[in-house]
Amino acid sequence: MRLSAFLYLTVLLTIFYSCNNKVTEHRQSSNSVSASEPQKILKTKMGTEVLVYSFDAFEKNLLQRKEPSVTYVINFWATWCGPCVAELPYFFKLEEQYSGKDVRFVYVSLDFLKNLETKLLPFLEKRNIRNKVVVLDQKDVNSWMSKIDKKWSGAIPATLIYNSKRRVFLEQNFESSEELEKALNEIID
């Protein structure tokens, strides 16, 4: 009697567990398909693409890259942010200097979604900016801001520099490409 009850329970639990598992598995797979894809792809007149990411997709594509030799410079900016726009040329200059090296620059725009076609694309076109610009949808910003850095107060410009060994988050603007290079060299071996 006891044994059969035990068996019964085990079978029940197994069924329950496997069903449950299937549900989570299914949820995970459907998530991972949509979660790493951009929400939208915009194109400038120069033909360069601007991907619009939710935070989940942004995290997968840009924050969790772990190629051992590559260092990422992730700059948070917006066309409406004066100090951000002022420091962009220093980033572009350094990006050119490091073009043959294992450093990737990404410019994360926090522009208003309704302004992407009217402000962001014309801004990039007017200045002929072909660097890698992506847009981060700020939906539920409080849930993810600390995932970028716990110390982030919420102001831009801000820059994250990381590789598989080191990481620094700088909530500041840079006054020259040399100043930025100094910060970068503290992360690169």
Partner 1 sequence: MKNTYFLLIALVIAISGMSAQSAYEIGDLVEDFKLKNIDGKMMSMTDAKNAKGFVLIFTCNHCPFSIAYEDRIIALDKAYKKKGYQVIAINPNDPSIEAAKDDSYELMQQRAKDKKFKFPYLFDEGQLVFPKFGATKTPDCFIVQKSAAGLKLVYKGAFDDNKEEKEVKQKYIANAIDALLAGKSPEPAVTKAFGCGIKCNDKTKLQTKKG
Confirm if 83 and 165 have CB atoms less than 8 A apart. Answer: no
Name the site residues for partner 1 (rule: CB under 8 A). Answer: 78, 80-83, 110, 112-114, 138-142, 145-146, 151-156, 171
Residue closer to partner 1, measured from CB, 11 or 155: 155
Residue closer to partner 1, measured from CB, 114 or 126: 114
- Min separation Cβ 135 and partner 1, Å: 12
Residue closer to partner 1, measured from CB, 2 or 114: 114
Residue closer to partner 1, measured from CB, 67 or 175: 175
Alpha carbons within 13 A on the beta-carbon side of 54: 12
Give the Cα separation of 14 and 9 in Å (integer): 8
- Min separation Cβ 100 and partner 1, Å: 34
Sign of the four-CA dihedral 148, 153, 156, 160: negative
Give the Cα separation of 104 and 83 in Å (integer): 22
- Min separation Cβ 43 and partner 1, Å: 22
